[in-house]
Structure 1
């Protein structure tokens, strides 16, 4: 009978072996004692790229970025006690954004629970309803078949039928380090069974929908999604078959790339503010993905009399307006392909020409005059011009993602824009960006606010681990989004809502050893971004924005577009 330390390592090895067999290639580790068997099992496998993050919250968001970049879960490892609790914000983001994660929480053995033992708490209900599955491995035994099977199951459940976080809780008894670890001998079966295919969209259901849409005026609305690269091609073909517009969120994957963009509308946040354009004669609105970023578009959807159908492959129902009358459980790529291949009768030609005219008017109004003061519209414009093809762009929440919505337009350059819109927090943004860069092996560019930067400064520690990224911080003196909201008129606005930190970002850059540039004039930004993109590693750019000036410029644009 092997000793306790050897049993611990054998169990950890069997689990990690099976996860590698399932295709997992990244592990994010935070230091601790109780997790030692898991760390040893990860370390000895050359197939795994190991990333070390001291702060568990940063580690979890870094793993989220890795998964978003690769479409495969990363392993998260932490010791027992409060350590796994720091994963919570990233876990709920992953759950609601359908991002796979595999959480390996080391634990004290059963005899140390409920007796006041150090660094011990109930880790079995830690993440509540946010997990796709939870498994308790139990203390290690000689038979490793069960833990290997749990590895297969965890990998599968993290990806199908609804991608998201899965936790395996692993109680280890001391001692944790064997005297002689011995070589790892992989089992004959290292691969997990491939996940089953996505939701089947039958030919019979497709035929029924084709009949229902025949000759109807249909509008397509695409919100944030992770439907893959084929989605853009599929939905633009469907739009052509239906002779219909696509209102494309900045996170829809439709604004950038070489697909047919002739029917893609991206200036709706400006032109839908005009009451004259809100009465679009669509009879059915087909929606894809999560709720759009634009409040203006959401208000239009809420008030529009058309039927609204949601095409969604997962069990949840992203319909905060409660306007969806039919949910079609199908993968959007399969849905679009089957419908486009059917005998769809398009609506009368030119029915949405007025929308195209409004789009052109909004695009013309968005042409910005040269100004010495930095402004988000110009930043977005120059960022998109300078970003190399295939760059991953990460947007913070609050104002940055809305700036992309307002100012990005459409480009034929292949770019991928990502944001954490599951629960839309401003935490973990730095770590997510660096995880995206690490998982894609190409430079990533992030645009976040000064409060989001403050929330996740610890994440910059990962910058020393060989990745290339440019982090752009819009410093408008706190929570700039509140300047657009009714709270702006309240007493104590600056103290209780705006909450400027007054921090010198240059000190943070120096602390973490990063190249830094502060930008006070618009002409400096393009040159600074070019230099940062040529620099290896992670660079930090701070852009000083006059908040009142920015608000005035936005209102001027909306007025010019919508009257």
Structure 2
């Protein structure tokens, strides 16, 4: 009889080797017994980079940071039971944000399910509705075909990347003994398994219809996160700005679009629209006849209202329909870069010169207002960081108020800064772990709120040895709720604001991180720059007077 432990290893070697042959280069592993054959195969594979993270929840968010940084699928490995369930929040984010993950969840064999066996749960369908595919090949059996497992691995990687990128689950049962007495692994010597995803080329007839709509009246291009699709962001930036020049229309670019910073032509890129759109008179005068949208639906309510007032022409490559306002009149299924090039090559009629000039005037008015009126301290923090950070820095932004302040105050510039956030499901969980995943590829600054930091506090352990500056905006709780209806309720502080008593100095010491408390934005910016220059992690607490900041936020809007 074949040794069960050796059978487990041979099976795992074929599967892990197949993932490596299909292009996976990184594994994030969490310790556990049932996953032992998978973990050992990953650790011993010569072409894989493995990171071991104790907490499966943090491991999954860290893996998302790696995907965001490098764009390639990352594999996760954990043991059976609730370990798998800890992946769920990050799996939801990967689904919503279309990020490729390969989930290798170890499991008990079929004969233990339903009989009260320890650490045995129904996990094959745990991520139902959140994954692109689920495969449960059963426990290893004698005489299995290694090529079948290699093909299964290649299929899982391909499904995670196309037609809609996202997570794929492999539920993998193992019988005991999990390892042989002498652990020997032989990876199959085989050619790489290539499965290239196609580029969605736009239909020529649809492009003509699109071009005709773009040539009617005055319009605007709106770009959100993921606007480049699978194309090189710099190439898309050049293409979409050329299209805007041809149409003589503005581009209203959110910070996660990647269009606010870079070497491309930014003369028609608006980055202050979240400010001047608050002036209802100006917003009404600049209401477009059509909006050409690329990427995710806008973050801020100001830009959402702008989009709501016009017919939407939507370019979307992956089969989704990101239009919760239901304003789409034409939908072009195409790679965004290919769509821009096809439209640019067609017959387009530019808007009158006064249209683009009006947006330039609005941008200038917002700039003047920023310099003429006191701004909340967070404004100086975000603006100053974007000016001071070196080119190539990763900038991760937390949700709630930070992402909205980034939208309003980031500014624009020629140097390339890559902006990231977990906007798929827009939660506050896992933010620090995602930032640590980004920092594994290079210098990273993360700006998050105090509640967001506390929610993911354990992930500060992942900062060790990485060039990561974490700036925690401590404004005494959930400041965004000051701007929402619960602020008027007598239970507001207990139920929504929820101020905490965490001592961030002690927190930093517990995780072995350098710490600095700052009351001034310039000091926080300097501290972040020093941390990145030294290539060392640092926790920076930026203390904000919430009431004073709120009063400035409620000031008269531009032009009001």
TM-score (norm 1): 0.95
Deviations 1:469-515 (A, max 9, x none): 11110000110101111211110211110001110011111111001
Task: Out of 76-85 and 481-490, give the one that drifted further.
Answer: 481-490
Task: Out of 17-26 and 151-160, give the one that drifted further.
Answer: 17-26
Contact 2:154 2:195 in 1 (8 A): no
Q: Does 1:434 align with 2:433?
A: no
Q: Does 1:256 align with 2:255?
A: no
CA distance in 2, matches of 1:532, 1:122: 45
Task: Out of 263-272 and 104-113, give the one that drifted further.
Answer: 263-272
With over 3 angstroms needed to count, the CA separation of the structure-2 counterparts of 1:368 and 1:231, relative to structure 1, is farther
Q: Which runs of 4+ in 1 moved over 3 A?
A: 368-371
Paired positions, count: 553
With over 3 angstroms needed to count, the CA separation of the structure-2 counterparts of 1:544 and 1:292, relative to structure 1, is same
Contact 1:25 1:74 in 2 (8 A): yes
Task: Find the counterpart in structure 2 of residue 238 from structure 1.
Answer: 243
Contact 2:17 2:187 in 1 (8 A): no
Contact 2:398 2:428 in 1 (8 A): yes
Task: Find the counterpart in structure 1 of residue 210 from structure 2.
Answer: 209
Residue 353 of structure 1 and its aligned partner are, at CA, apart by: 1.8
Once the two structures are superposed, the pairs formed by residues 6-17 of structure 1 within 5 Å of their partners are 6-17=6-17
Question: Tell me, what secondary structure is at the counterpart of 1:366?
Answer: helix
Pick from 295, 300, 303 the counterpart of residue 294 of structure 1: 300
Task: Find the counterpart in structure 2 of residue 161 from structure 1.
Answer: 163
Contact 1:311 1:332 in 2 (8 A): yes
Task: Find the counterpart in structure 2 of residue 111 from structure 1.
Answer: 111
With over 3 angstroms needed to count, the CA separation of the structure-2 counterparts of 1:251 and 1:264, relative to structure 1, is same
Once the two structures are superposed, the pairs formed by residues 410-559 of structure 1 within 5 Å of their partners are 410-438=412-440, 440=441, 442-464=442-464, 466-556=465-555, 559=556
CA distance in 2, matches of 1:22, 1:34: 25
Task: Find the counterpart in structure 2 of residue 313 from structure 1.
Answer: 317
Any gaps of 5 or more consecutive residues in structure 1?
A: none
Contact 1:220 1:247 in 2 (8 A): yes
TM-score (norm 2): 0.96
CA distance in 1, matches of 2:44, 2:267: 52
CA distance in 2, matches of 1:218, 1:192: 45
Task: Out of 356-365 and 526-535, give the one that drifted further.
Answer: 526-535
Task: Find the counterpart in structure 1 of residue 201 from structure 2.
Answer: 200
Residue 186 of structure 1 and its aligned partner are, at CA, apart by: 2.4
Any gaps of 5 or more consecutive residues in structure 2?
A: none
Task: Find the counterpart in structure 1 of residue 271 from structure 2.
Answer: 266
Deviations 1:39-79 (A, max 9, x none): 00001113211111111110000000000111111110000
Once the two structures are superposed, the pairs formed by residues 13-412 of structure 1 within 5 Å of their partners are 13-141=13-141, 142-143=143-144, 144-189=146-191, 191-225=192-226, 227=228, 228-229=232-233, 230-279=235-284, 280=286, 282-302=288-308, 304=309, 306-367=310-371, 375-412=377-414
CA distance in 2, matches of 1:551, 1:499: 17
Residue 209 of structure 1 and its aligned partner are, at CA, apart by: 2.2
Contact 2:59 2:433 in 1 (8 A): yes
Contact 2:10 2:185 in 1 (8 A): no
CA distance in 1, matches of 2:353, 2:518: 49
Residue 149 of structure 1 and its aligned partner are, at CA, apart by: 1.3
Residue 345 of structure 1 and its aligned partner are, at CA, apart by: 2.0
CA distance in 1, matches of 2:263, 2:373: 28
Deviations 1:327-373 (A, max 9, x none): 211111111111112232212222232222111110122237799xx
Contact 1:398 1:481 in 2 (8 A): yes
CA distance in 2, matches of 1:384, 1:195: 36
Question: Tell me, what secondary structure is at the counterpart of 2:278?
Answer: coil
CA distance in 1, matches of 2:293, 2:85: 35
